[in-house]
A and B are shown apart, each in its own frame.
Chain A
Amino acid sequence: MDLQFSVEDIRFRDEARAWLHDNVPREHRPHAGEAMRAFDTAWQLRQFEGGWAGVSWPKEYGGLGLPLIRQLIWHEEYARAAAPDNHLCFVALNHAGPTLIARGSEAQKSFHLPKILRGEVIWCQGFSEPNAGSDLASLRTQARIDGDYLVVNGSKIWTSHGHLSDWQELLVRTDPEAPRHKGISWVICDMKLPGITLRPIEIMTSPNQVHFVQCFYDDVRIPLGNVVGAVNDGWNVAMSTLGFERGTAQVRDQIRYAYLVEKMIAEARRRLGSDCALSDDVIGARLAQLRADMAAARAMTYMVMSRAQAGIQDSQSSLMRAMVGETQQRARRLALDILGPDGLENREEDDWVYFYLRSFSITIAAGTSQIQRNIIGERVLGLPR
């Protein structure tokens, strides 16, 4: 047990800090459309050119080939520098990329990974369907093999930024006769293919905010070579990267939230008057507990990282995910309460009201809190199904 970092780790941290200090974009990140895409891809390219993209990715595909701990350090420094999150690159960097590294063919890796690191392409996810949400394995989007192609018919939904994406990680049913988890394939889908139509879906944060799309596939022909892993092994391929999504990338969010809580304390002091005993106030009590829980959330992430470093693979990280998500949601609600009557104004994106409304998604996306608890109950605690 220790909190030590090696001399090389510390040097890496110092260099990352210095580079971020000089290179983090200071202009406001646009929140929609092509402007947002241009911003995110430019920032990703800058990171790549600075030599900071894909810290733990293999060198032969443009990464730095460093241990996971450096990836964690990079995320910590990234958050500390208040660097803008390039959300559009999230799926590619934290989900599709690691999946390809784990299960992709040589051709798939050498074609896609460098493009992802350079920010040339945006990826989206095509997992959920209108009738397959929490029960993901019941997905029905069908893919029939026709010569060297898969012919896809069906629909996917809750695809974040699908209208701005180039590629999609798509789960399709390739064997309708097999048991639910066995007949699924993980496919790389080009979003520009004929037969794909998109329906924009506005979200609850503010009027006219398109975040998701629903995708319709009408005889979409995808080359069989785009299947990652084996045909019908897509469930395992999808599960192979959950550790990545829930590991290091979380750290960035946590540090950001820890700073948010500090800002909230300062704002509460300002609004309540500096002579107000914050601790005697309901807001003060909630802030204190939140500050403690935020520290614990970070400690849990360090534990998840420690397990990953030791090569332990289990569902333990679902404990961290549940705690972190719910604590972040609680932070957003408390931020609104600190604003008091000003919480009635949804002034602009990027402020506390906008993110309060947005926080309702935290306990739904990538497995609801309730599904997390099923996983904890069954896979961590061994309770019967």
Chain B
Amino acid sequence: MNFLLSDEQTQIVDSLHDLLSEQMPVSRFRPPAPQIGNSDQAFWPQLGELGFLGIGLPEEHGGIGLSAAEEMLAHREFGRHLLSPAILGLTLGARLAARLRPDLLEEILRGLLPIALANPRGSVQVGEICHGEFHLIDAKQAEWILICSEHGSALLRRKDFTAVTDVLATDHVLSLERGVLTGARPVCWLAESQECLYPRAQLLVSAYAVGLAEATRNMAVEYAKARQQFGKPIGSFQAIKHLCADMAIRAEAAACQVIFAALVLAEGRAGADFHSVAAKLVAVEAALQNAAQNIQVHGAIGFTAEADAHLFIKRAHVLEQLWGDTRQQRRMMLAAPFPDG
């Protein structure tokens, strides 16, 4: 039993971190950059070339063949740098394609076939036939759309959605549209009974959320060290120090549970459902709370568009909704069998 990163894992994290800090810094969203939408899609080929889009996919499918642990670590870095969550469309879509549409796989893994996300608005039917209203996330230039649910995952074409209308996203550096499916047949439908994709989807969105929780903790701590009031760094005051400590506790709890869930998945142990839903609940809560407290530690500047703090709270709310909101996660949490191992 060892929760520490191996040297190889540390290298992967460091190289990805360096790449993203250089090419995709969070400051890319600062004014005068356009405040609506993003161009992250242009970066997918580079990530694809380095193998990060198929990091956890077996080699026989064209992936790197590493485990859920490395895949988790990569998504943590994606979250830290606020990559478009459509990245999950690629990493999860690749698994769907590997099983049902191998002809699409190479293009997906090379980052040349963007796959956007559809998230249900209220009650929907997802299966061999799909019905209901959805939000489309960063889907403007995507031909393909992924829907992920506890019952199974579907790959559809953008043109399967009707009545598509633009809406302003709360997280406005994403593009958001509404769309409707009425009896659409997905190009790929993979029921959970055929292959368990959902725990992995939960794990990866949780890892992304940990990236947010850690990034906001770091921002708050750095600011608390630098910002002076009453002649001292504000981090010397217990009121601020304890907020930062709370953020550190939450980030650590989330990071550790996400490691736990990743290892259970990687080693094929019992309890993947239990640990991945626990990871989503703990990590999303950490991301939401830390993002909010980061704004508070920053004071007035935290409330502006020129500081990056607002981006994280907005993104955390997107993560909360993906693959089922907190209410749904709690229902699943209570239903999951307790892994007594």
Contact of B257 among A258, A287, A296, A316 (CB under 8 A): A296
Query: Which residues of chain B from 213 to 238 have a CB within 8 Å of any chain A CB?
Result: 221, 224-225, 232-233, 235-236, 238
Contact A302 B252 (CB under 8 A): no
User: Which residues of chain A have C-beta atoms less than 8 A from B274's C-beta?
Assistant: 295
Q: Are A377 and B245 in contact (CB under 8 A)?
A: yes
Interface string of B236-249 (1 = CB under 8 A from A): 10101110111011
B33 at the interface (CB under 8 A from A): no
A378 to B241 CA separation, bound complex (whole angstroms): 8
Q: A262-B338, A323-B252 are in contact. Are A384 and B4 (CB under 8 A)?
A: no
Counting CB contacts under 8 A, is A230 at the interface? no
| Contact residues of A: prevailing secondary structure | helix
- Residues A296 and B248 in contact, CB atoms below 8 Å apart: no
Contact check, A383 vs B252: say whether CB atoms are below 8 A apart: no
Interface string of A292-324 (1 = CB under 8 A from B): 110111111011011101100000100110110
Q: Given A2-B263, A373-B241, does the pair A297, B253 have CB atoms closer than 8 Å?
A: yes
Contact B278 A291, beta carbon cutoff 8 Å: yes
B330 and A279 contacting across the interface, CB-CB below 8 Å: yes
**Chain B residues whose CB sits within 8 angstroms of the CB of A377 once the complex forms:** 235, 238, 241-242, 244-245
Contact B236 A3 (CB under 8 A): no
List CB contacts (< 8 Å) of B257-292 with chain A.
257, 259-260, 262-264, 267, 269, 274-275, 277-279, 281-282, 285
Give residues of chain A (314-359) contacting chain B, Cβ–Cβ below 8 Å: 316, 319-320, 322-323
Chain A neighbourhood of B4, CB < 8 A: 1, 303, 306-307, 310
Give complex CA distance A306, B260 in Å.
Answer: 12
Any A CB within 8 A of the CB of B2: yes
Please tell me if the beta carbons of B242 and A373 are within 8 angstroms of each other in the complex.
yes
B2 in contact with A306 (CB, 8 Å): yes
Q: Is the CB of B241 within 8 A of A296?
A: no
B334 at the interface (CB under 8 A from A): yes
- CB–CB B260/A1 < 8 A: no
Q: Does B137 contact A (CB under 8 A)?
A: no
Query: Which residue of the partner chain B has the closest CB to A309?
Result: B2
Contact B249 A323, beta carbon cutoff 8 Å? yes
Could you say which of A3, A80, A278, A300 contacts B256, with CB atoms under 8 Å apart? A300
| Distance A381 CA – B224 CA, assembled complex (angstroms) | 10
A295 CB contact (under 8 Å) in B2, B246, B260, B329: B260
- Among B3, B225, B267, B330, the most chain A Cβ lie within 10 Å of the Cβ of B3
User: How long is the Cα–Cα vector from A380 to B277 in the complex, in angstroms?
Assistant: 29
Asked if B333 and A384 sit within 8 Å, CB to CB, the answer is no
Interface residues of B in 291-309 (CB under 8 A from A): none
How far in angstroms is the closest Cβ of chain B from A225?
41
| Chain B positions within 8 Å of A323 at CB level | 249, 252-253
Cβ B330 vs Cβ A288 within 8 A? yes
CB pair A293–B327 under 8 Å, yes or no, is: no
A376 within 8 A of B: yes
Closest residue of chain A to B73 (Cβ to Cβ) is: A1
Chain B 1-41 interface 0/1 with A at a Cβ cutoff of 8 Å (1 = within): 11111100100000000000000000000000000000000
Residues of chain B within 8 A of A291, CB atoms compared: 278, 333-334
Partner of A288, one of B1, B248, B259, B333: B333
Residue contact B249 to A1, C-beta cutoff 8 Å: no
Complex Cα spacing A307 to B259, Å: 14
Q: B256 contacts A1, CB within 8 Å? A: no
- Decide if A382 is an interface residue (CB 8 Å cutoff): yes
| Cα distance, A382 to B244, chains bound together (Å) | 11
Asked whether A381 lies within 8 Å of B1 as measured between CB atoms, the reply is: no
User: What B residues does A72 contact at CB under 8 A?
Assistant: 1
Nearest CB of chain A from residue B235's CB, rounded to whole Å: 4
Rounded to whole Å, the gap between the CB of B86 and the closest CB of chain A is 27
A303 adjacent to B259 (CB under 8 Å): yes
A82 at the interface (CB under 8 A from B): no
Report if A4 contacts B (CB, 8 A): yes
Task: Give chain A nearest CB distance to B82 CB in angstroms.
Answer: 22
A284 within 8 A of B: yes
By a CB distance below 8 angstroms, the chain A residues around B225 are 382-384
Question: What B residues does A296 contact at CB under 8 A?
Answer: 253-254, 256-257, 260, 278, 282
Q: Report chain A residues within 8 Å CB of B69.
A: 1
In the complex, A289→B277 CA distance in Å? 10
Report B-chain residues with C-beta under 8 Å of the C-beta of A3.
1, 260, 263-264, 267, 269
Q: Which residues of A contact B279 (CB under 8 A)?
A: 292
List the A side residues contacting B267 at CB < 8 Å.
2-4
Nearest A-chain residue to B250, judged by Cβ: A323
Best-buried of A72, A299, A303 by chain B (most CB within 10 Å): A299
- Complex alpha-carbon distance, A278 and B332, angstroms: 11
Tell me, in angstroms, the Cα distance from A372 to B4 when the chains sit together: 23
Residue of A nearest to B333 (CB): A288
Contacts of A288 in B (CB 8 A): 281, 329-331, 333-334
Bound-state CA distance A72–B5 (Å) is 20
A304 to B219, CA, bound (A): 25
Judge whether A111 is part of the interface by a CB distance below 8 angstroms.
no
With A299-B256, A306-B1, A323-B249 known as contacts, the answer to whether A1 contacts B263 (CB < 8 A) is: yes
A370 within 8 A of B: yes
Once the chains are docked, how many angstroms separate the CA of A101 from the CA of B136?
62
Known interface pairs A262-B338, A306-B3; A319-B249 also in contact (CB < 8 Å): yes
CA distance A383 to B285 in the complex (A): 24
Contact status A383-B256, CB under 8 Å: no
Question: Which A74-103 residues have C-beta < 8 A from chain B?
Answer: 80
Provide the residues of chain A in CB contact with B242, threshold 8 Å. Answer: 370, 373-374, 377
Which partner residue on chain B sits nearest A5 by CB separation?
A: B1
What are 17 sample pairs from A and B whose C-beta atoms fall under 8 A apart? A279-B330, A279-B334, A287-B334, A288-B333, A289-B285, A291-B278, A291-B334, A299-B260, A302-B1, A303-B3, A303-B252, A305-B1, A370-B242, A372-B245, A374-B245, A381-B221, A381-B248
Given contacts A303-B4, A383-B221, 8 further A-B contacts (CB under 8 A): A285-B327, A288-B329, A291-B278, A302-B256, A302-B260, A376-B248, A383-B241, A383-B244
* A interface with B by C-beta (< 8 Å): 1-5, 69, 72, 80, 258, 262, 265, 278-279, 284-285, 287-289, 291-293, 295-300, 302-303, 305-307, 309-310, 316, 319-320, 322-323, 370, 372-374, 376-378, 380-385
- Closest 4 A/B residue pairs (Cβ): A288-B330, A377-B241, A299-B256, A279-B331
